[in-house]
Structures are given as structure tokens and as C-alpha cells.
Amino acid sequence: MTKAGRKPSRSSVLIPWPVRAWHRDHVRFAQLLDFLEAQMDAFHGGGDPDYNLIRDAVLYLQHYAGRYHHPCEDVAFARLLARDPKMELPINRLLQEHRVIAFAGDQLRKHFDNISGEVVVKRAAVEAAAATYLVYYRHHLAQEETNVLPRAAELLTEEDWSAVVAAIPPGPDPLFGDDVEARFRELRSMIMRDRKPEAHRA
């Protein structure tokens, strides 16, 4: 979720635009997880995955989520908790998962940094790190889509959404934006080639 691009009029939609942007990020994250899973299937089968693209995918998931996506989530979570105290347990779990996913991503990226540097890494360790990352990330997205986004759309006010939007730093999306950064161009081409229709994605 970034501030780049025109915001649709709230009067023309039933769902607040930040919720739709939140969901759009989740769809894009899921596309990257699909890409990572396909690359790891090749790795497991003794094939030749693209280690540089794997590193770029994990880097984007860490950088974009940490800089743009999670700050607005933190505000939305706090506002939602103030309006529905029963959300405390699921929200606390999601915040804990942010930390677990970040750690798992760091471990996975380090493994592929070592592989690219021709450091010997046990195949089982790489596969275990990737499996942890994929399972936690997919579960996390599903929980937010099922338990948080609908409740936020129902309860948060215009003032709440203004606070959420204010927490988003200005700047373009380096992978899915109009001006793709050079290091992400090949990954963008792969994702666009293999992507599934967004209407059918969670």
C-alpha cells in the first residue's frame, strides 16, 4: 500500500480504498509466494532455480512489507482494537507472526546469499527455512483476509482510515509500480507471466 497513484472516491465504492489496497498487497504477496514455491520445487527436485530472483523476491517481501505495508497495518490494528476489544487475541497473534516471518525471511535470504557466494549449505536447511517462510506467510495472509479486513471495513471510520493512510510513507512500489526498479525488472516479468487472475486470489 503506497501513496502513489490516484485514490478512488469513497462515494463511488462500498469498501474503503485502503482495504482494497490492503487486499491488493496480499494478492501480490501471494503471487511472490507462488513464485518462491515453484523455485523451491525446482530446488527440491535437483533442478536449477534462479537464486538471484529468489533473493529479490524475499528482499521485496521484507522491504516493502516492512516499510509500507506493516506501518499502515499497525495503525489499522490499533484503531480496530479500540473499537472491538475482542480482536485483541487475533491481532496480537498477527503482530507476533510479523516478527516470525521477518526472522524466517532473514534466514532464507542468508541461505541463498551463501549459495550465491558458493558457500556450502545443507539442502535440508534451505528447504526447512523455505517451508517455514511459506507456511507462516500464507497462513498470515489468510488470517488477515478472513478475520481482520472484513472487520476493519465494517468498524473503522473515515477518521480511522485517514490515520491509516497518514502512516504510509510516500514512494513508489519498486516491483509492482509503474516505474520498476532495475533489479526487480526480471522478477516483475516472471510474476506477470505466471500470475493468476486477481479476482480468484485471496
Give the C-alpha separation, 17 to 166, whole Å.
14
Contact between 54 and 163 (Cβ < 8 Å) = no
pTM of the model: 0.86
* Per-residue pLDDT, 194: 74
pLDDT, tens only, 34-56: 999 999 999 888 878 898 999 99
Contact between 141 and 202 (Cβ < 8 Å) = yes
* Per-residue pLDDT, 31: 95
According to the CATH classification, is domain 15-197 in 3.30.360.10?
no
Q: Is the alpha carbon torsion for 9, 154, 80, 19 positive or negative?
A: negative
Give the C-alpha separation, 3 to 173, whole Å.
9
Give the C-alpha separation, 58 to 6, whole Å.
28
Domain ranges of the chain: 15-197
